[in-house]
Amino acid sequence: MPAYKAPLRDMRFLMNEMFDYKSHYATLSSGLHADQDTIDMILETMANFCENELSPLYQTGDEEGCHFENGHVTTPKGFKEAYENYVALGMQGLSYPEEFGGQGLPMSLNLIKSEMMATANWAFTMYPGLSIGCMNTILQYGTEEQKNTYLPPLVSGNWLGTMCLTEPQCGTDLGQIKTRVEPNGDGTFKMYGTKIFISSGEHDLTDNIVHIVLARLPNAPEGTRGISLFIVPKFLPGPNGTVGDRNGVNCGSIEHKMGIRASATTVLNFDGATAYQIGEDNRGLHAMFTFMNTARIGTSIQGIAHAELSYQGALPYAKDRLSMRSLSGKKNPDKVADAIIHHADVRRMLLTQKAIAEGGRAMVYYAAMIADKMTEGLLKGDQAEHDLWDDRLGFYTPILKGFLTEMGLECANLGMQVYGGHGYIKEWGMEQIARDARIATLYEGTTGIQALDLLGRKVLLSSKGKVVRDHTAEILKFCGEHARNRKMHGFIWDLTKICAQWNTLTLRIMFMARKDREVVSAASNDYLMYSGFAMMAYFWAQMAAVSFEKLENGGNEAPEFYTAKIQTAEFFFERLLPRTAAYAESMVKPSRSMTQMAIENFAFF
């Protein structure tokens, strides 16, 4: 079983040498106490917790799974104790206001903390992870009374939260929601309905669970225009963070899943449960996107996590496993065969994992800085600033979620492949990573939904291609700054071509869609994957530029680290970036080959 080791050197490279988090934090009110000593303490504390407490529970939690009996869920052995230790560290409220018991630090630190937890044990991390969006929603849309009631116990971790969207008849198409509320006459409501696939909807980790639920008010308009948002606690709140009477929300069952078996995925029945409205009438979906965007960034971290953990499992095996001789001559002449890491195809798999894990980490850490600026606008009450950065983050979100989870799944499968037949055996732990990774491309919006959101909504409808022009302008500015650097010529030339092609492809699809509306759906997945590789190329070029500079002027680390960065960047540009050529050719084909077949011909002959 892979034993997780936090990649602190790579994290610090991004934070300190590439993105200059110190200067970034100096611009934030929440960055006042984010000095280097505090950051180092958080990184070291979380690394120790994840390596020594969460990682050992990863395989055992999967083997045991959750237990369901009479509406109650018991988490696997060791989870409750680990969660109590996590709460004692005070890390749940890392990025939340001090007035509610948090530490008031930047949101990016919470995301970095989450990456370590996610890689060490994703199933465990889902329990505290779902609370993040719950807290964000209450913080932004809750009344003062709701904030004072729910945020202190949620921020401390004494309570946990969920989001409840999906119903048996609808997932992505939330306009079909049937869960309803009836007014009690005192400002509260009675809720009736069933929600499914609710992660962490029931468990034994905390005394209370706060559900954020989409439902319909009486006489609400049909479709998404008639959805409102409600807080429904498992137990009604008592004074000072205590719990009162049991509410009318009950767990009907838990799902038996392919992966993340230690995370309880529940069916929740609302049988006249007391509900408290949050936000405006029929504007619940708008408020819920606060939750959803947070969840999608969190899920993109899962893509990095599975690539990283699978790489950490595959690398030592590739160094130890002996099989055949290298084509270029014996590498272990005193052994019966050479270690498989000497075979180029095995290196292809390992380098793909390394490139995706480290490239994805750079993408997420940069997006985390945007999230910091968005949150700063909210804290200052500057709606225009908040919306500016929210829109920019909105462009990154579907790419991060869709592309990184797809590549994380690919990397998890490559980890199994490195092991050969042993990768299919449970005792090694590699097949668990692949099983766990599979869900990441599905929940919080499938890859297809992310692709439609990116191309149809963010690129074509909302910005008429401007969002791509703005992003490529940023890339071209970087290219101009490094155009005279001979060592960067290969990266700069490829990036320049990608920028031109990205804009051209966007315009071609825009014009094609005027006559062929289905072309947007037909092209969207190719467009998303193209955008992911293009965006990651930009970040790998940046990492290469920093590494060249450090090697030339003397970094504070052994040169092997920077050399490996440059060599991984070269691998990405030579072996992975060329995939964009196939996506580019495919996305601009007419939709006819997808749409021409009669439904009756989708049959077994």
pLDDT in tens, 182-220: 999 999 999 999 999 999 999 999 999 999 999 999 999
Alpha-carbon distances, residue 351 vs 81, 520, 557, 587 (angstroms):
37, 33, 22, 27
Query: 35 or 291: whose pLDDT is higher?
Result: 35
Contacts of residue 448, defined as CB under 8 A and 6 or more positions apart, other chains included, come to 524, 525
Instruction: Name the one residue in this structure whose structure tokens are 């936090």.
Output: 6
Report whether pLDDT(291) > 60: no
Check residue 383 and give its pLDDT: 87
Q: State percent of the chain over pLDDT 70.
A: 98
CA angle 300, 306, 307 (to 5 degrees): 95
Q: Give residue-wise pLDDT tens across range 453-479.
A: 999 999 999 999 999 999 999 999 999
Query: How do beta strands 180-183 and 159-164 pair?
Result: unpaired
DSSP one-letter string for 166-230 = -BTTBSS-GGG---EEEE-SSS-EEEEEEEEEEETSS-SSSSEEEEEEEEB-TTPPSGGGG-EEE
* Band of pLDDT at residue 148, cut at 50, 70 and 90: very high
Q: Residue 540: what pLDDT?
A: 98
Is the per-residue pLDDT at 420 higher than 70? yes
The torsion angle over the Cα atoms of residues 22, 25, 30 and 32, rounded to 10 degrees, is 50
Q: Which of 540, 538, 490 is nearest to 355 (CA)?
A: 540
Give the pLDDT of residue 293: 64
DSSP H or E stretch at residue 351: helix 344-380
Q: What is the pLDDT of residue 70?
A: 95
Pairwise CA distance, residues 181 & 203, whole Å: 25
**Token code pair at residue 91:** 């890390």
The single residue of 444, 549, 557, 585 carrying the catalytic annotation is 444
At residue 386, the pLDDT reads: 86
| pLDDT computed for residue 172 by the predictor | 86
Task: Show the tokens assigned to 189.
Answer: 């409501």
What pLDDT score was predicted for residue 287? 83
Euclidean distance between CA atoms 216 and 300, whole angstroms? 30
How far separated are the first and last CA of the chain, in Å rounded?
Answer: 45
Give the tokens for residue 512. 């094609």
| pLDDT value at residue 482 | 97
Q: Render pLDDT for 303-322 as a digit per residue (tens, 0 to 9).
A: 999 999 999 999 999 999 99
Kindly give, in sequence order, each residue whose CB lies less than 8 Å from that of residue 133, ignoring residues fewer than 6 positions away: 161, 163, 212, 290, 291, 292, 294, 295, 298
Please indicate whether residue 164 or residue 290 has the higher confidence score (pLDDT).
164
Is the model's pLDDT at 555 over the cut of 80?
no
Task: Give the separation between CA 21 and CA 29, rounded to whole angstroms.
Answer: 14
Contact 437, 311 (CB under 8 A): no
Q: What amino acid occupies position 185?
A: G
3-state helix, strand, coil in the chain (%, to 5): 65, 10, 25
Segment holding 69, helix H or strand E: strand 67-69
Confidence of residue 292 (pLDDT cuts 50, 70, 90): low
Query: What pLDDT, on a 0 to 100 scale, did the predictor assign at position 297?
Result: 79
pTM to 2 decimal places: 0.96
- Quote the pLDDT of residue 295: 65
Per-residue pLDDT, 377: 87
Write out pLDDT tens, residues 490-542. Answer: 999 999 999 999 999 999 999 999 999 999 999 999 999 999 999 999 999 99
Asked if residue 491 lies in contact with residue 516, where contact means CB atoms within 8 angstroms, the answer is no
Instruction: Please state, in angstroms and rounded to a whole number, the distance separating the CA atoms of residues 333 and 317.
Output: 19
Is 444 an annotated catalytic residue? yes
Q: Are residues 415 and 311 in contact, defined by beta-carbon separation less than 8 angstroms? A: yes
73 or 443: which leads in pLDDT: 73
The mean pLDDT value for 142-164 works out to 97
Task: Please answer whether residues 66 and 76 qualify as being in contact, where contact means their C-beta atoms are separated by less than 8 angstroms.
Answer: yes
159: amino acid identity, one letter: W
In Å, how far from its chain's centre is CA 71? 30
Tokens 């606060």 appear where? 290
**pLDDT digits over 369-380, tens only?**
999 998 898 888
Length of the chain equals 605
- The residue ranges of every structural domain in the chain are 449-591
Cα angle 24, 32, 160 (rounded to 5 degrees) comes to: 95
Lowest mean pLDDT among 6-15, 74-83, 166-175, 430-439: 166-175
User: Band of the pLDDT at 390, cuts 50, 70, 90?
Assistant: confident
Strands (E), 278-354: none
235-237 and 243-246 beta bridge pairing: antiparallel
**What local confidence, expressed as pLDDT, does residue 171 receive?**
86
* 313 SS3 class: helix
Q: Supply the pLDDT for residue 213.
A: 97
Each residue's pLDDT tens digit, 91-110 = 999 999 999 999 999 999 99
Please give the pLDDT value at position 241.
83
Find the mean pLDDT for residues 211-232.
96
How many Å is the Cα radius of gyration of the chain?
A: 24
Whether 389 and 373 have beta carbons less than 8 Å apart is answered as yes
Distance, in Å, from the CA atom of 152 to the CA atom of 144, rounded to the nearest integer, reads 12
The pair phi, psi for residue 277, each rounded to 5°, is -70, 140
Question: Three-state SS for 590?
Answer: coil
Helix (H, G, I), strand (E, B) or coil at 234: coil
- Collapse the DSSP code of 4 into the 3-class scheme (helix H, G, I; strand E, B; otherwise coil) and give the result: coil
Residue 274, token pair as written in the block: 């007391």
Q: What mean pLDDT do residues 418-441 have?
A: 97
Nearest to 150 by CA among 186, 187, 227, 96: 96
